[in-house]
Structure 1
Amino acid sequence: MKAETVFIVDDDASICEGLSNLLDSVGIPTEQYPSAEAFWESWNDQRAGCMLLDARLPGASGVEFQEHLKNLGIGLPIIFMTAHGDIPMVRKVMKAGAIEFLTKPFQKQELLHAVAQAFEQDRTRRQEDSIVSTINARINSLTDREREVMAMVTAGLLNKQIASELSLSEITVKIHRRRVMDGMLAGSLAELVKMCERARFPSWRGPS
């Protein structure tokens, strides 16, 4: 994975250059893009960092681009900037998850503080994504029957209830349950439940 980078998306080349020079001076790598479309052409989800996004761009506006990224499940933290903001716009982008809304011209420390916040959020998000990916890999390593038993176990069913629902013996259920615990590397039922919740694995809700 490349170093944490600030992706500057603004159609004003002089602003991009100024922001880039400022951030480079404190050791923060930057990349510049004149439009949302230009950024999108080079993006891959292995990149780390945050986006410094002009709210009013030609083509897809910054506000529209934020919505597009969110719909695609791309959680790159966004810092908005504009010389012509208004209260409804600020409310909209902040409600949608923006880190900060900076009004041009803004102070160096304002920008650096927002970038530090954004980088921290991105690290947390990527760490969580990695954990969930590991949990999902364990879930996928289970057999269909083991996943079925896990759904029932995490829903709070007892072995005898699971045995009745699946027309199995309690001994067989206990074997499946042990394989689930081993396969998920879960040390306790509580830990198994937390992992399933984290990965949004659906628990059993009873016969349909």
Structure 2
Amino acid sequence: MNALPDSDIATVYVVAHDPAENDTLCAQLTDVGLRARGFTRAAAFLASERSAGPACVVLDADLDTPGGGLLLQDALTDLQDPIPVVLITDRADVTTSVRGMKAGAVDYLTKPMPEGVLLSAVGAALALDRQRLGRERASTDVIERAQRLSQREREVMALVAAGRMNKHIADELGISEVTVKIHRGNAMRKMEARSFADLVIMAHKLGMTSPALYHGGIGRNRRELA
């Protein structure tokens, strides 16, 4: 499923085999400013292109397909698709609800659902997806900033984050403490770190805190970079 260039307007995908029910649910969602797209078949949803903003699926657990809607939920898990799922059903089935919730459903609603209950569940699902997207964007930003670092700045950042003092870093790299401080300052500026703790957190996100990384990789060219 390819992401389309899009805004951050939330999209709710409704997957229910009854076209009339599908239309009703989509209308309820669009009435509150959400974008809604309906599907009557699981395969059509899986083959569809996704918007780039936050999203969730309102999935009929009684979907008219072998295994019902839970089979689609399992397929999303197998595809490592993180989109949150709200399950809806015509019957209160404890076994189905337990299975769906264990598989990660945000909620399990029994029809007919008051509109407020559906919107509350959808709101919770979209909030989860917004949080996920925020984490992904933050990680991407950190990676892009790290690409600005020189090899020596990466070395210093990794060793600082591993708990090394400036003097020890200077000894390991064969440079002066003053040079260590310069590289450390450059790393903080390029990483846009607001504090030393912020720099360490970024290093952890990048996996730059292991001394083995320094000894096995980033430190191997120390003589050329001194």
| TM-score above 0.5, yes or no | yes
Q: 2:73 aligns with which of 61, 66, 73?
A: 66
| 1:114 and 2:121 matched | yes
Report the counterpart of residue 40 of structure 1 in structure 2.
46
Unmatched tracts of structure 1, length 5 or more: none
Give distance in 2, aligned partners of 1:89 and 1:200: 40
The SS at the match of 1:141 is coil
Kept in 2, the 8 Å contact 1:36–1:61? The answer is: no
Q: 1:137 aligns with which of 137, 144, 148?
A: 144
Q: Structure 1 residue 115: deviation in Å?
A: 1.5
The structure with more radius of gyration:
2
Give distance in 2, aligned partners of 1:61 and 1:141: 49
Report the CA distance shift for 1:154/1:85 in structure 2 as closer, same or farther (over 3 A): farther
Q: Structure 1 residue 19: deviation in Å?
A: 1.2
Unmatched tracts of structure 2, length 5 or more: 1-5, 217-226
Report the CA distance shift for 1:81/1:144 in structure 2 as closer, same or farther (over 3 A): farther
The SS at the match of 1:156 is coil
Q: 1:151 aligns with which of 151, 158, 164?
A: 158
**What's the % identity of the aligned pairs?**
36
Give distance in 1, aligned partners of 2:123 and 2:199: 34
| 1:81 and 2:88 matched | yes
Kept in 1, the 8 Å contact 2:143–2:206? The answer is: no
Q: Structure 1 residue 195: deviation in Å?
A: 2.9
The two structures have a TM-score, normalised by structure 1, of: 0.82
Letter matched to residue 65 of structure 1: L
The two structures have a TM-score, normalised by structure 2, of: 0.77
Root-mean-square deviation (CA, aligned residues, Å) is 2.7
Kept in 1, the 8 Å contact 2:86–2:105? The answer is: yes
Kept in 1, the 8 Å contact 2:11–2:51? The answer is: no
Q: How do 1:1-208 and structure 2 match up within 5 A?
A: 1-2=6-7, 3-44=9-50, 46-57=52-63, 58=65, 61-70=68-77, 72-84=79-91, 86-197=93-204, 199-206=205-212
Kept in 2, the 8 Å contact 1:154–1:189? The answer is: no
The count of aligned residue pairs is 207
Give distance in 2, aligned partners of 1:39 and 1:120: 21
